Amino acid sequence: MQLATLRELYVDELRDLYSAENQILKALPKMAKAASSAHLKNAFQEHLEQTKGHVQRLDKIFDELGARAKGKKCRAMEGLIEEGKELLEKDVEPDVLDAGLIAAAQKVEHYEMAGYGCVRTYAKLLGDDQSAELLQETLNEEGETDEKLTELAESTINLKAMHDGQSDEEQKQEIETVGT
């Protein structure tokens, strides 16, 4: 496909995101199932619901444009999800797995944030303010999810993962050292 105009690039990038979101829709339930932390499970389930909304917003934009949503496979998302799957196939301590799932999910969110930031900007340039607004809403939700994952990781999950594999004695020592 030849891309001669910014509008064509805009549609191409929207298709990339459409494919990415649909791949995430399939991956998120598996990630929620694999997570041990109830908070992390919830975060994935909540984002699954948001992701359904992201697809709907894209459907609406494609309708307005009179363009087909399908026709592109987002290889980057395919790769990110593939890496996440590799983690699930390994023998990983549950808390370490949770930390790894957060890392995988944050890579996905950052990919989406980059994509939505670009198409939001193109939509504005092309005078498509309504779509720009919808894309900004999705961008905000991806950003909020990323922040929520950081908070979960930093407040509990990374710390639990750090303690996996340590003996009680080592953990006690560490707490004592931190306490001094």
What are the Cα distances from residue 76, in Å, to 66, 89, 101, 146? 26, 20, 17, 18
What residue ranges in the chain does DSSP mark as E strands?
Answer: none
Q: Rounded to a whole number, what is the distance in angstroms from the first to the last CA of the chain?
A: 64
Cα four-point dihedral sign 159, 164, 169, 170:
negative
95 is an interface residue for Fe ion by CB under 5 A? no
Minimum distance of Fe ion from residue 51's CB (angstroms): 5
Minimum distance of Fe ion from residue 1's CB (angstroms): 24
* Piece of the chain touching Fe ion by CB under 5 A; list 32-40, 72-80, 118-126, 136-144: 136-144
Number of residues near Fe ion (by CB under 5 A): 4
98 is an interface residue for Fe ion by CB under 5 A? no
Q: Report the candidate in 91, 72, 70, 86 with the shortest Cα–Cα distance to residue 27.
A: 86
Minimum distance of Fe ion from residue 17's CB (angstroms): 8
Cα Dmax for the chain? 65
Site string for Fe ion, 24-63 (x = CB under 5 A): ---------------------------x--x---------
Nearer to Fe ion, 128 or 142 (CB): 142
How far is CA 22 from its chain centroid?
A: 12
Minimum distance of Fe ion from residue 8's CB (angstroms): 23
142 is an interface residue for Fe ion by CB under 5 A? yes
Instruction: Name 107's Cβ contacts closer than 8 Å, sequence gap at least 6.
Output: 80, 83
* Piece of the chain touching Fe ion by CB under 5 A; list 34-42, 104-112, 126-134, 164-172: 104-112
Binding site for Fe ion (CB under 5 A): 51, 54, 112, 142
